[in-house]
Chain A
Amino acid sequence: MGRGYIVQDDVEGYLSKLCEQKADPVTGLLIGQSSTQRDYVVMAIRTPQKEESAAAARNSVDKEWVTEHARQVSRMLPGGLSVVGVFIITDADAKDALTTLRQVRVMLTLSSSGLKAWAHQIESGLCLIDGKRLPEDSELTVGQRRNVRQTYTAQLLITTVRDENKRLTDVIQQCGGSVSVTGAIHSRAYLHSNKPKARLAEKLLKRDVVSTVATRVQMMLEELLASDQESKGKLFCLPHRIFCPLKVSGPLCVCDYQFSDEGLSEVTERLKEMLDIDAAEEDLDTRQETTFEITGCDITPGGHRDMHACVLCPDCPPFCCLGVAMATAVALLATAASMLYLNDI
């Protein structure tokens, strides 16, 4: 009783090369998309070397490190792509290898609780594909020939969802400050090309919207905690999303987040270390999101929160892809959702 895997050719090539390496065991992650019948694997990534690894450790599997690698890699995958498995290449007994694998658990949780209400709004929202509201069970590629490049533009419509738990007395609360997130993000999801349903596209896209915001907020908060900045009314630019194609001619992209004080070389370094991808700076797609420019918006406490400071960019060519149906969208965060109450200082 096994599951079917459909694996891209280059994955096979990659794994074969790893077999030739002297190190034993070699572990790594399998990246792709799961469906009810089978898994599609588009990429394999070897576990990067841990800096402080001693000679002895090289011969055993560092399960926590594999898990941590998986967690970081998940942040770099757009909608539809996820860690679907773990591989191990070893001369040792197969049974031992399997046992080791099973002990690696990969978990992704949405930890930022302030965003939960907003995430719920997104998840309950209405999704339009190419301007139409499709019945959930309908297939996206109906009427199209197979293996034709397909790009779909998605729109998201949301409503406020009534919170039954909120009491009437909770209307005004005292707080020591606020944190809010505003701006726009580019969201994207990939679908396998075997009769994908509209329902799946909607689910993957919404998941990507929520996860790209959560990831960036998390990264920013980690940064703030690390640098221990104490200041009133400060603006922090969240890192913006950069895409990098897996293959020069392919549609699939992975992504990374670039902070405003980083250069593109740091991005390519991370892509190599985490995803084992050799990318040149010119391969990177940096046009989907632009840096925020403070155009003198009035940010008085108690004042407006919407800041539609849109920086217009020169024309971008339409995005297209091969072989795999894809949905693209840009989500606007004008009605910020994250409110954290800081203690009185």
Chain B
Amino acid sequence: DSEIATVLRVKGLLEFRCQLDSTDEQLVRNVISRTFETLRSQVKSESCVLAVSDSPVIIWPNKDAYATPEEITPSTLCEDMHQWIQADEQESSGKKSSKKKSKKSSMSVINLCLMTEVTKPGPLSAPILTKTVLKSHFVNVTLPLDCVVCTGRSNTIKDACEQLIEALTHQLCEMEKVTLQNMKGMTLLVPEPVHFLLPEPKGLVTVVYPVGVPDSQLVAQRKELHEQFELPDDRPYFRRANAYHFPNEPYKDGYLRNPHLALTHPTLDNGKVYLVQGIYSYHHYMQDRVDDNGWGCAYRSLQTICSWFQQQGYVERPVPTHKEIQQALVDVGDKQASFVGSRQWIGSIEVQAVLGHLLGLTSKILFVSQGAELASKGRELANHFLTEGTPVMIGGGVLAHTILGVAWSETTGQIRYLILDPHYTGAEDLQVITDKGWCGWKGPDFWDQTAYYNLCLPQRPKVI
């Protein structure tokens, strides 16, 4: 019976400013450290203010959690803050299914903004203007602070403030470390925090990375993190693409993510459910202003697979277009040049070829001579989802689909397939997609019993 945790996320920009009148490395490092120390003092000062987003609530964390409006006291529970927050607008990536609620307890996130109060009761001393004439370097960086703190049921505002201020100061220390580590002469890299959701019980973890340095140059850091958090060393957890996507943040590209999570999974006697691991986007007919109705189903399934590899951090390349897919097949010699721009179908073998050529991935092909045989492939599919966890493309007859999971009973042999159907032509409406079965569980009779099928099972590279 897991608790629904309230996660407090505080974001804010802090100006890092200093003047360097010497290029001597040690002196420069001293100045940078001193400037970070100033920022840490700022965060611990009475002028530091936390404004709760979408609400009139403002808290002074270093003034014993004094807050406005006056109904909020230091002993108010964090979870009671929700009543002050304006209801979230519907996500732009689709309407939420109100009927089907995920059984898994989800996080509720309260967003806060880090601000500075610039007023004080008077009178105070009048302003002065300081002028220096000195050849120097002026450093001006905007640091993007972004901290998360998990609170339990009984945590009060006062507790939360202590945790938040500590998280902010700690993050500034991390930023100082990363800045000094990546300093080369008179060039500085901006440190930026990224959040990752690790498997339970570790939860949300924040890592500070230098902006602009690609994942390929950060292998040593990731190795350290894998050791620190005792994570397997053959799959990525800390690539930038693995960054946790907070529930109330809409996806800018508009595609639905993991529509299967809205479904209730079948229960079979002695059966277990084996699902795709991680995040994929739902690609289907008519998206991206491409009218591929009637011929593009395998292309869309391939796009769904590519989106999985991109969002798990294995590739940086964005999801390929129909033309790019066709060009790849021409480049490997599988098709003639006239193939590009045509409306020709492709099958599992072509999918395997494109995954190899564009994304550098290997895939296994599974062949069944009759659709009826698919019912006996429970073990193989279950194993695939257990070890690789990637979406599977299946092509046969005149159709292509994506298999996202199986429900299979070892004893009774009963089997169900979780299908993502690329033939859908409508809008990104989760309700419609799940209600009408465009993403849904199907029985063995879903397949054409006499047609032959090829399945493409993409293999996960063993890297971090």
Contact = CB atoms under 8 A, between A and B. Distances in A.
Interface stretch (A4-12, A55-63, A81-89, A150-158): A150-158
Contact of A176 (B34, B114, B133, B139): B133
Contacts of A240: 126
Contact of B127 (A238, A287, A329): A238
Residue with the highest number of chain A CB atoms closer than 10 Å, among B13, B119, B136, B140? B119
A111 to B, nearest CB: 16
A309 B177 CA distance: 31
A234 B128 contact: no
Residue with the highest number of chain A CB atoms closer than 10 Å, among B15, B114, B138? B138
Contacts of A162: 13, 142
A181 B123 contact: no
B34 A168 contact: no
A160 B116 CA distance: 9
B117 interface: yes
B125 A159 contact: no
B68 A128 contact: yes
A302 B21 contact: yes
Nearest to A224: B131
Nearest to B17: A305
A160 B115 CA distance: 8
Given A157-B49, A175-B136, A182 B123 contact: no
Interface in A145-189: 153-163, 166, 168, 170-186
B124 interface: yes
A317 interface: no
B19 A178 contact: yes
A262 to B, nearest CB: 13
A299 B132 CA distance: 10
Contacts of B69: 132
Interface in B9-32: 12-15, 17-22, 31
A22 interface: no
Interface string B174-198: 0000000000001110100000000
A330 B123 contact: yes
Contacts of A184: 120, 122-127
Contacts of B106: none
Contacts of A18: none
B13 A172 contact: no
Contact of B123 (A153, A180, A287): A287
A302 B31 contact: yes
Q: Majority SS of interface residues in chain B?
A: strand
Contact of A159 (B13, B136, B140): B13
Contacts of A303: 31, 34
Interface size classification for chain A: 35 or more
Interface stretch (A25-33, A45-53, A268-276, A333-341): A333-341
Interface stretch (A67-75, A248-256, A289-297): A289-297
Residue with the highest number of chain B CB atoms closer than 10 Å, among A171, A302, A307? A302
B333 interface: no
A157 B113 CA distance: 11
B141 interface: yes
B56 interface: yes
B129 A304 contact: no
B121 interface: yes
B203 interface: no
B127 A172 contact: no
Interface residues of B, number: 56
A330 B140 CA distance: 27
B13 A160 contact: yes
Interface in B92-132: 113-132
A263 interface: no
B51 interface: yes
B118 A166 contact: no
B127 to A, nearest CB: 3
B257 to A, nearest CB: 27
B134 interface: yes
A321 B138 CA distance: 46
Interface stretch (A36-44, A95-103, A213-221): A213-221
B131 A309 contact: no
B289 interface: no
Given A126-B51, A291-B125, A157 B139 contact: no
B56 A332 contact: no
Contact of B212 (A168, A304, A330): A168
Nearest to A294: B128
A287 B131 CA distance: 27
Contact of A232 (B15, B34, B116, B134): B134
B49 to A, nearest CB: 5
A305 B17 CA distance: 9
Residue with the highest number of chain A CB atoms closer than 10 Å, among B22, B115, B122? B122
B360 to A, nearest CB: 29
B118 A157 contact: yes
B26 to A, nearest CB: 13
A310 interface: yes
B19 A160 contact: no
Given A306-B38, A331-B118, A316 B136 contact: no
A289 B190 contact: no
A302 B19 contact: yes
B6 to A, nearest CB: 22
A158 B118 CA distance: 7
B137 interface: yes
B135 interface: yes
A156 B118 contact: yes
B58 interface: yes
Nearest to A289: B126
A301 B20 CA distance: 7
A178 B120 contact: no
B290 interface: no
Interface string A125-144: 11010011100000000000
Contacts of B18: 302
Interface string B417-451: 00000000000000000000000000000000000
Nearest to B122: A330
Interface in B195-253: 211-212
B225 to A, nearest CB: 24
B68 A159 contact: no
A301 B34 CA distance: 13
Contact of B130 (A126, A175, A182): A182
Residue with the highest number of chain A CB atoms closer than 10 Å, among B58, B134, B186? B134
Contacts of B21: 301-302
B19 to A, nearest CB: 4
Contacts of A217: 129
11 contacts: A126-B115, A155-B117, A157-B115, A176-B133, A176-B136, A178-B19, A184-B123, A233-B133, A240-B126, A311-B125, A330-B120
User: Which 7 pairs, one residue from A and one from B, show the smallest C-beta to C-beta distance?
Assistant: A183-B127, A184-B124, A240-B126, A160-B13, A330-B122, A177-B133, A302-B19
Given A157-B116, A175-B135, 11 more contacts: A133-B68, A155-B119, A159-B113, A175-B19, A178-B130, A178-B138, A183-B125, A233-B133, A233-B134, A235-B128, A302-B18
